[in-house]
A and B are shown apart, each in its own frame.
Chain A
Amino acid sequence: MADKKLGIIASKGTLDWAYPPFILASTAAALGYEVQVFFTFYGLALLKKNLDLKVSPLGNPAMPMKMPFGPKWFQGINWNMPNALMANVPGFESLATVLMKQTVKNNGVASIAELRDLCREADVKMIACQMTVELFGFNHSDFIDGLEFGGAATFFEFAGETDVCLFI
């Protein structure tokens, strides 16, 4: 049987949205899939040499705000922050990001950098959208090595043969 194929379009660049493409790509590779991920628009942030991903609970009402320290009853509280507060307090996004990274660590969940490395080790092919690179004024040197730069047609060459194809 020929290897199964998974194609993913990664279009989001926040810390929370960075997880699904890398988790699915690395797991599929471990299961024997041939995997390609096409990073476009904000998804390009996931390929930067300096990963500086943030998460914001603003406009994201399903995101629980929890404290990753203290006794268990305290960690279980869901802090209901009004939008007006999140939008106006300087540094709120950084605070939310620090809290989420700590929660991730406490729960034995891998960091994005770690998952990205695992994907590269497993020969997941990563394609960066050349159009978006130019649109946002990035340089190829901003990104990790081993990428291919291409457009939609490049992705479809693979996507047309996939068994599973996801837009994230």
Chain B
Amino acid sequence: MANFDKELDARGLNCPLPILRTKKFLQEMGAGQTLRIIATDPGSVKDFQAFAKQTGNDLLESAEAGGEYTFLIKKKA
């Protein structure tokens, strides 16, 4: 996975907490910066797609390995 500016460990958290924490993290970041999120909630795959689509932030990567889901989001300009 590409480089990132900040990381959010959302493992063990369930809907809607990973999304709410992500929103909070993004608020404190600058435009164009990237946030990596690690989650274990299987529902987060669709939820992060929907979050990116509705907020205009870019979902650069979405991957799954060993029951963990990682997402890379670039904050919109």
The number of chain B residues with a CB under 8 A from chain A is 15
> 8 Å CB contacts to A: which residues of B2-35?
12-17, 19-20, 22-23
Per-position 1/0 for B33-75, Cβ under 8 A of A: 0000000110000000001001100000000000000000000
**Chain A contact surface mostly:** loop
Question: Is A86 on the interface with B (CB-CB < 8 A)?
Answer: no
| Cβ contact within 8 Å between B14 and A31 | no
Per-position 1/0 for A105-124, Cβ under 8 A of B: 00111100000001000100
Q: Looking at the complex, which one of A23, A30, A107, A122 makes contact with B51 (CB distance below 8 Å)?
A: A30
Kindly state the separation between the CA atoms of A27 and B14 in the bound complex, as whole angstroms: 13
Kindly state the separation between the CA atoms of A107 and B55 in the bound complex, as whole angstroms: 27
Q: Looking at the complex, which one of A26, A31, A108 makes contact with B54 (CB distance below 8 Å)?
A: A31
Q: Which residues of B contact A118 (CB under 8 A)?
A: 20
| Cβ contact within 8 Å between B51 and A31 | yes
Number of A-B contacts (CB under 8 A): 35
Q: Least Cβ distance of A107 to chain B in Å?
A: 6
The number of chain A residues with a CB under 8 A from chain B is 12
Q: Which residues of A contact B51 (CB under 8 A)?
A: 30-31
Q: Which residues of B contact A30 (CB under 8 A)?
A: 16, 19-20, 22-23, 51, 55
Kindly state the separation between the CA atoms of A26 and B17 in the bound complex, as whole angstroms: 9
Closest to B13 in A: A108
Q: Looking at the complex, which one of B13, B16, B41 makes contact with A27 (CB distance below 8 Å)?
A: B16
Q: A30-B20, A108-B41 are in contact. Are A23 and B15 (CB under 8 A)?
A: yes
Q: Least Cβ distance of B18 to chain A in Å?
A: 9
Q: Which residues of A contact B54 (CB under 8 A)?
A: 31-32
| Cβ contact within 8 Å between B20 and A108 | no
B binding-site residues for A, Cβ under 8 Å: 12-17, 19-20, 22-23, 40-41, 51, 54-55
**Beyond A31-B51, A31-B55, A108-B40, 6 extra complex contacts between A and B, CB < 8 Å:** A23-B16, A27-B19, A30-B19, A30-B20, A32-B54, A110-B17
Nearest 5 CB-CB pairings of A with B: A30-B23, A108-B14, A27-B16, A108-B12, A109-B14
